[in-house]
Amino acid sequence: MSDFLEIAKANLLLINNDFQQLHARPELAFEEWETTKYIAEQIEDMGLEPRILSDSDGVIVDFPNSNNSAGLLAIRADIDALRHCLTDGSEITIHSCGHDANATMALAVCRILYQRWQQIKHHPMGLRFIFQPAEENVSGAKKVIAEGGLNDVTHIIAIHMRPKAEALMGKATPGVCHSSVMAVDITINGVSAHGGWPQQGVSVIEGIKAVILGVEKAAADLTWPASVKVTVARTVNTIYNIIPDRANMTLDFRAHDSAEMETIWRQVQENIADTLAQSKVKIEYNKRFFIPGPLYDNHMLELSQQAIKEVLGEENLLPFLYTAGAEDFHCYTHARNDLNAVYLGLGADVVPGLHNPQMSFNHDALINGVAIMATLAEKILNENQ
Ligand SMILES: [Zn+2]
Ligand SMILES: [Zn+2]
């Protein structure tokens, strides 16, 4: 059995207790006050000094006795929950994305690694734990960065449970390849006229047609999870005999990574511009939001594979996992593309799925996640002696 799997099992009571405590404190993005308090107390009990983020919605802690001369490894866990409207009209806030599990695993890894850390006087590579708020609204990473959480960081890792359909209990994937997601609002302006004298106006329907054709052309060669489609199209006009002079559209983009997103976006604009070359229709684009895709380091993926093999056995190592969902984690590498990053997916028999108010999972997976993350962290630290 792997070293860390045995240690994780020995920590089972603490792990279960942390999970129960965090599970009982589901809080929305930027309101993770009780969660932060609990995590900070645990960190203090370990003999470490937690640094609480402004507004008390997250925690960062650095292990002592390192000048980070060989880099700094950050282990990031997200801590926010989600609000759901139930069929009876009531609302509940729960950890339906399993961030209580993510925080539990990070706390356990922190506890386990700190015991080993104390046996050595000086560490060339530093170790930091980031308990990040607001993953679900894709804002928490920006806050952590703004408050210096990424300062000196050279390596960053994270883990998240995957739905049963993607990863069974006892298995894990070394890299979850989330999608890059973008929404673009389009305003189309023309010239209004009487329906009987259309030649006096400039119909925005021309623009709508150009956008639909341009999007379809750009989408034709894409493979899932990459896609682009029109999700909103309307003219402000509701009268049958007026040439409409204003329309609004929204496009939803998905891509394997940020580079592919850029290509699709450029293609869509070029296609539309080609169609409208002779047209008097005016078109404006406004990016509503953009979530970057993953930027993983090949060597980190290899180490991640090795860690999974050591803990779960080669037969339980899954291939890279492509998924249409997005992740705030990738805002770290988007801000700092020199970071060595990887984000693992843990099999935990999550049913019926993430973001489902009935979400449940096999709690034994916590032990696997702790052992894999501790093994991976130690590999990175050992390489950077
Ligand atoms: Zn989520
Ligand atoms: Zn999540």
How many angstroms separate the CA atoms of 362 and 287, rounded?
40
CA of 261 to the centre of ligand 1 (A): 21
Q: Tell me the pTM.
A: 0.89
Amino acid letter, residue 142: K
- The angle formed by the CA atoms of residues 80, 82 and 88, to the nearest 5 degrees, is 155
CA of 27 to the centre of ligand 1 (A): 13
CA within 13 Å, CB half, 332 = 31
pLDDT tens by residue, the chain, 385 residues: 579 999 999 999 999 999 999 999 999 999 999 999 999 999 999 999 999 999 999 999 999 999 999 999 999 999 999 999 988 889 999 999 999 999 999 999 999 999 999 999 999 999 999 999 999 999 999 999 999 999 999 999 999 999 999 999 999 999 999 999 999 999 999 999 999 999 999 999 999 999 999 999 999 999 999 999 999 999 988 899 999 999 999 999 999 999 999 999 999 999 999 999 999 999 999 999 999 999 999 999 999 999 999 999 999 999 999 998 899 999 999 999 999 999 999 999 999 999 999 999 999 999 999 999 999 999 999 999 8
CA of 78 to the centre of ligand 1 (A): 9
Instruction: For ligand 1, an ion, list residues with CB under 5 A.
Output: 97
CA of 166 to the centre of ligand 1 (A): 15
Query: At the top level of CATH, which class does the domain 180-291 belong to?
Result: alpha beta
CA of 97 to the centre of ligand 2 (A): 5
CA of 216 to the centre of ligand 1 (A): 29
CA of 304 to the centre of ligand 1 (A): 22
What ligand is nearest to the CA atom of residue 160?
2
**Domain ranges in the chain?**
3-178+294-383, 180-291
CA of 134 to the centre of ligand 2 (A): 10
CATH of domain 3-178+294-383: 3.40.630.10
How many angstroms separate the CA atoms of 238 and 183, rounded?
26
What ligand is nearest to the CA atom of residue 355?
1
CA within 13 Å, CB half, 153 = 27
CA of 98 to the centre of ligand 2 (A): 6
How many angstroms separate the CA atoms of 81 and 355, rounded?
9
Fold: same for 3-178+294-383 and 180-291: no
DSSP assignment letter at 198: G
CA of 97 to the centre of ligand 1 (A): 5
CA of 162 to the centre of ligand 1 (A): 10
First-last CA distance in the chain: 26
CA of 127 to the centre of ligand 1 (A): 26
